[in-house]
Chains A and B, each alone.
Chain A
Amino acid sequence: MRERMTMSDLDQFRLDVREWLEANCPAEMREPVRGEDDVCWGGRNWTFKNEAQKLWLERCVAKGYTVPDWPKAYGGAGLSAGEAKILRQEMARINARPPLSSFGIWMLGPALLHFGTEEQKVHYLGQIARGEIRWCQGYSEPGSGSDLVSLQTFGEDKGDHWNVNGSKIWTSYADKCDWIFCLVRTDKTNKYQGISFLLFDMETPGVSTKPIKLISGNSPFCETFFDDVVVPKEQMVGPLNRGWDVAKYLLGHEREMISGGGLGDGAPSLGAQMLASIGANGLGQLDDGLLRAELAQFDVDALAFKAMAERFTDEMKSGKGHPAQPNMMKYAGTELNKRRHELVMAGNGSDALEWESEASKGGAKARNWLRTKANSIEGGTSEVMLNVIAKRILDLPGA
């Protein structure tokens, strides 16, 4: 009783959250994510894997827990930074899967919260929070990778709408998405201040997609083509020709998201996971001394990065972090994740080489390993991240 009386509001919130999760998170949603379809991406074409996935999404939508720190008016739960952290911790405690994953939540949402009009916020953020619309990102072009600002896709001013022509590349899941947020050149005379940030439906006439087969054998990315695509003027975010500001803001969130990959699947030790495949010697140590040393170094780096991720979140939420810090997180997190998968391959030996067998779940390890090689390329290469750190944080000359 005495404990209850001295309990802070946050402690009470934790108890409430715990109770709600206990009652509402289906048992199937507390299992580790094993395959791509275990992650719910939502959207018009989404097929729920099972009833539990659907139920978990609906319950979280009703509570605002798909986007807990967004305002209630836009489909969130209006949680403070402290409350949102508690919700994350309590979900992690019971291994609850995220009810909804989407580029809308991680990338477009924060940009709309910052740059959108009230109408745009109510309309688009609500759809994102409810998992109704699945978004993809139209940034890179065949000739504009690291040098993104050189992009050529052009929107011609037609009075009440833009007439968009051009193509994008590396559009994640463009073939499965409903809408795209897209960087389009609206002024050919001004490099940086000649780009606008447009939103449009992928079913608009003139939009077509073509999946790109990667070294992993999978096709998470597409080429996307625009042939006289009509985009109404009200579907622009931020001022005309200032889309680069929106894009940069959003890239910060994208880099933050990709950096999370370095954290792995929540298990604290990669080395411990290797005991079964490598075996132990008489001392109970991994029976491969040099690999054990590498794994131990990796675990040190992974746990240190985990602390960094926590620090990064806390600092960003309280406005203490350096605005360019997401670039550091992206660099470190993706390089770490690539190392993790190199070690997973080394630790599992020839078993991990199987590409099509049932035992290997269709070559999951090998395909994941190959997929991670894109981590340090997509969303800005490691080299670009290092450039940004040198210029904006270390203030080095001429960078």
Chain B
Amino acid sequence: MPMYLNEDQAMLRDSAREFLKSEAPVSHLRKLRDDNCKDGFRHALWKQFGEMGFTGILIGEDDGGLGLGHVEAGVVLEEIGRNLSPSPFLTTAIAGVSALNHGGQHLKDKFFPGILAGNTVLALAIDEGAKHRPAHIATKAERSGNGFKLTGQKQFVIQGASADALIVAARTAGSPGETDGITLFAVDKDAANMSMDSARLVDSAMAAHVTLDGVEVDGDAVIGEVDNGWQVLSALLRAGRAGSSAELVGVGAGAMDMTVDYLKQRKQFGRLIGEFQALQHRSAHLYSEMEIARAAVLKAQQLLDEGKDSAEVYVSVAKAKAGRTTNLVVREGVQMHGGIGMTDEYDIGFYMKRDRALNEFMGDANFHAGRVAEIFGY
């Protein structure tokens, strides 16, 4: 596979770019925040995602989807990042669907039609502490009758209070730190004994702390095999990490464009500030890093689509590289904007906030650099 988009992928990018620029530009996010929107995204926009076919990218053709891959998912996510468009796309259509693709047909039949239509929203209940440590799951799932009883605490559950179902990682065996003994469940939103405490995050998204106090689910709720959930969780995480890397690249690209434009407009000391070599060299460095990050993300997506083992290391390379790069771009972006960059009225601050949240999502750059070291055995 050559390392650039083919014709179909380029067409998808063009239509996603046009759609998001007109339907969900940064002003859309601003309005939603100013309206104190309790979902953190608009259901109407999610419906439009369905109409555009985006929600079916990773759903197989047999199940009514497009049967495309992670490269295509990333094409849409980069445009989402560029426009800071809030939606359940990454959690539901990319990470959630990747988990359900490992589940039984009954789960696909239950969720895929609603996802395809842009109705159903899934939320991911993985993290239990402030930092992403997916093997350290302590939430318990004890056998009870035909099913299981779930007890534990989850946090950073994006759009949890707006979701139709939660994908919950819980422990059916073993102890925290072990990858064996984890099982994934699809838990309906109105399950008894589940409570949520939602908070708005710095990037205006809504995230829930979820308390599971003996939530009863039947055997049908299990995604994949009991005790072997690590495999399903890994698929979910690979998709979510590659996807969030692509979104990060979009956030970086959007912030970079804004900043370079600003350097060409703002005058100080009688000349455009873009004429100053101090700013030129820093901008050129950002460009270089962004190009490399985009290549790393594309490589990870291609390896995932080809089913290669090396996808594992490249997904972490992509998340670490995109995370570090976009973080640098937004910090430099705010600095180069000067005073105006500190104002709420100006959009560059939104990019900085989104970068912070995306960097944290499914493991930050340090977590993933550490994973690269582990995979290479040092």
Tell me if A7 is interfacial: C-beta within 8 Å of chain B: no
Query: In the complex the two chains form, is A310's CB within 8 Å of B299's CB?
Result: yes
Query: In the complex the two chains form, is B321's CB within 8 Å of A397's CB?
Result: no
Proximity string of chain B (252-283) to chain A, C-beta cutoff 8 Å, 1 when within and 0 when not: 00000000100110000001101101011101
List residues of A (363-399) whose CB comes within 8 Å of B's CBs.
383, 385-387, 389-390, 393-399
Tell me if A139 is interfacial: C-beta within 8 Å of chain B: no
Closest to B275 in A: A398
A295-B378, A314-B3, A386-B280 given as contacts; is B317 within 8 A of A398 (CB)?
Answer: no
A311-B3, A389-B284, A399-B275 given as contacts; is B320 within 8 A of A269 (CB)?
Answer: no
Proximity string of chain A (274-300) to chain B, C-beta cutoff 8 Å, 1 when within and 0 when not: 110000100011100000110111011
Instruction: Kindly name the residue among A268, A271, A308 whose own CB sees the greatest number of chain B CB atoms within 10 A.
Output: A308
Query: In the complex the two chains form, is A386's CB within 8 Å of B281's CB?
Result: yes
Closest to B370 in A: A296
Query: In the complex the two chains form, is B317's CB within 8 Å of A304's CB?
Result: yes
* B377 partner, pick from A272, A383, A387, beta carbons under 8 A: A272
Tell me if B54 is interfacial: C-beta within 8 Å of chain A: no
Query: In the complex the two chains form, is A394's CB within 8 Å of B260's CB?
Result: yes
Instruction: Kindly name the residue among B271, B288, B314, B377 whose own CB sees the greatest number of chain A CB atoms within 10 A.
Output: B288
Tell me if B246 is interfacial: C-beta within 8 Å of chain A: no
Query: In the complex the two chains form, is A390's CB within 8 Å of B283's CB?
Result: yes
Query: In the complex the two chains form, is A297's CB within 8 Å of B284's CB?
Result: no
A297 CA to B253 CA, complexed, in Å: 22
Instruction: Give the number of A-B contacts (CB < 8 Å).
Output: 148
Proximity string of chain B (283-298) to chain A, C-beta cutoff 8 Å, 1 when within and 0 when not: 1110111011101101
Query: In the complex the two chains form, is A299's CB within 8 Å of B372's CB?
Result: yes
Query: In the complex the two chains form, is B3's CB within 8 Å of A301's CB?
Result: no
A285 CA to B320 CA, complexed, in Å: 19
Query: In the complex the two chains form, is B376's CB within 8 Å of A398's CB?
Result: no
Tell me if B368 is interfacial: C-beta within 8 Å of chain A: yes
With a cutoff of 8 Å between Cβ atoms, the chain B residues found around residue A293 in the complex are: 366, 369-370
Query: In the complex the two chains form, is A295's CB within 8 Å of B280's CB?
Result: no
With a cutoff of 8 Å between Cβ atoms, the chain B residues found around residue A303 in the complex are: 296, 313-314, 317, 372
Query: In the complex the two chains form, is B3's CB within 8 Å of A396's CB?
Result: no
Query: In the complex the two chains form, is B292's CB within 8 Å of A300's CB?
Result: no
Query: In the complex the two chains form, is A285's CB within 8 Å of B292's CB?
Result: no
A318-B2, A320-B4, A396-B264 given as contacts; is B272 within 8 A of A300 (CB)?
Answer: no
Tell me if B130 is interfacial: C-beta within 8 Å of chain A: no
Tell me if A307 is interfacial: C-beta within 8 Å of chain B: yes
Proximity string of chain A (301-343) to chain B, C-beta cutoff 8 Å, 1 when within and 0 when not: 1011101101111110010100001001001100000000000
A301-B321, A332-B288, A389-B288 given as contacts; is B378 within 8 A of A275 (CB)?
Answer: yes
Closest to A297 in B: B369
Query: In the complex the two chains form, is A394's CB within 8 Å of B376's CB?
Result: no
Query: In the complex the two chains form, is B377's CB within 8 Å of A275's CB?
Result: yes
Tell me if B44 is interfacial: C-beta within 8 Å of chain A: no
CB distance from B132 to the nearest CB of A (A): 17
* B373 partner, pick from A295, A311, A314, A393, beta carbons under 8 A: A295
Closest to A275 in B: B378
List residues of A (49-103) whose CB comes within 8 Å of B's CBs.
none
Query: In the complex the two chains form, is B313's CB within 8 Å of A332's CB?
Result: no
With a cutoff of 8 Å between Cβ atoms, the chain A residues found around residue B3 in the complex are: 307, 310-311, 313-315
* B264 partner, pick from A285, A286, A320, A397, beta carbons under 8 A: A397
Proximity string of chain B (306-337) to chain A, C-beta cutoff 8 Å, 1 when within and 0 when not: 00000001101110110010000000000000
Proximity string of chain B (359-378) to chain A, C-beta cutoff 8 Å, 1 when within and 0 when not: 00000011011101100111
Closest to B316 in A: A300
Closest to A306 in B: B299
Query: In the complex the two chains form, is A296's CB within 8 Å of B372's CB?
Result: yes
Q: Which applies to chain A's interface (DSSP): helix, strand, loop or mixed?
A: helix
Closest to A305 in B: B292
Query: In the complex the two chains form, is B373's CB within 8 Å of A304's CB?
Result: no
CB distance from B346 to the nearest CB of A (A): 21
A131 CA to B268 CA, complexed, in Å: 57
With a cutoff of 8 Å between Cβ atoms, the chain A residues found around residue B373 in the complex are: 271, 285-286, 292, 295-296, 299
Query: In the complex the two chains form, is B291's CB within 8 Å of A314's CB?
Result: no
With a cutoff of 8 Å between Cβ atoms, the chain B residues found around residue A268 in the complex are: 376
Closest to A398 in B: B275
* A304 partner, pick from B2, B272, B274, B321, beta carbons under 8 A: B321
Closest to A303 in B: B317
Query: In the complex the two chains form, is B280's CB within 8 Å of A300's CB?
Result: no
Query: In the complex the two chains form, is B291's CB within 8 Å of A398's CB?
Result: no
Query: In the complex the two chains form, is A280's CB within 8 Å of B321's CB?
Result: no
Query: In the complex the two chains form, is B293's CB within 8 Å of A304's CB?
Result: yes
A292-B378, A296-B370 given as contacts; is B317 within 8 A of A386 (CB)?
Answer: no
With a cutoff of 8 Å between Cβ atoms, the chain A residues found around residue B263 in the complex are: 396
Query: In the complex the two chains form, is A304's CB within 8 Å of B260's CB?
Result: no
CB distance from A257 to the nearest CB of B (A): 18
With a cutoff of 8 Å between Cβ atoms, the chain B residues found around residue A395 in the complex are: 264
A305 CA to B263 CA, complexed, in Å: 28
A45 CA to B310 CA, complexed, in Å: 44
A1 CA to B372 CA, complexed, in Å: 40
Query: In the complex the two chains form, is B376's CB within 8 Å of A269's CB?
Result: yes
A299 CA to B372 CA, complexed, in Å: 8
Query: In the complex the two chains form, is A390's CB within 8 Å of B378's CB?
Result: no
Closest to A328 in B: B288
Instruction: Kindly name the residue among A286, A301, A303, A325 whose own CB sees the greatest number of chain B CB atoms within 10 A.
Output: A303
CB distance from B318 to the nearest CB of A (A): 8
20 CB contacts below 8 A, A to B, read: A269-B376, A272-B378, A274-B378, A275-B378, A293-B366, A293-B370, A296-B370, A304-B292, A308-B292, A308-B295, A310-B299, A311-B3, A311-B295, A315-B3, A328-B284, A328-B291, A332-B288, A386-B284, A389-B284, A399-B280
Known contacts A269-B378, A296-B372; 18 additional CB pairs below 8 A are A271-B378, A272-B376, A280-B378, A284-B378, A295-B378, A296-B369, A304-B293, A307-B296, A307-B317, A325-B291, A328-B291, A332-B289, A386-B285, A387-B277, A387-B281, A389-B287, A393-B287, A396-B275
9 tightest A-B contacts by CB? A304-B296, A307-B299, A311-B3, A389-B284, A398-B275, A390-B280, A269-B376, A308-B295, A296-B369
Report A's interface with B, CB cutoff 8 A.
Answer: 268-269, 271-272, 274-275, 280, 284-286, 292-293, 295-297, 299-301, 303-305, 307-308, 310-315, 318, 320, 325, 328, 331-332, 383, 385-387, 389-390, 393-399
Report B's interface with A, CB cutoff 8 A.
Answer: 2-4, 260, 263-264, 271-272, 274-275, 277, 279-281, 283-285, 287-289, 291-293, 295-296, 298-299, 313-314, 316-318, 320-321, 324, 365-366, 368-370, 372-373, 376-378
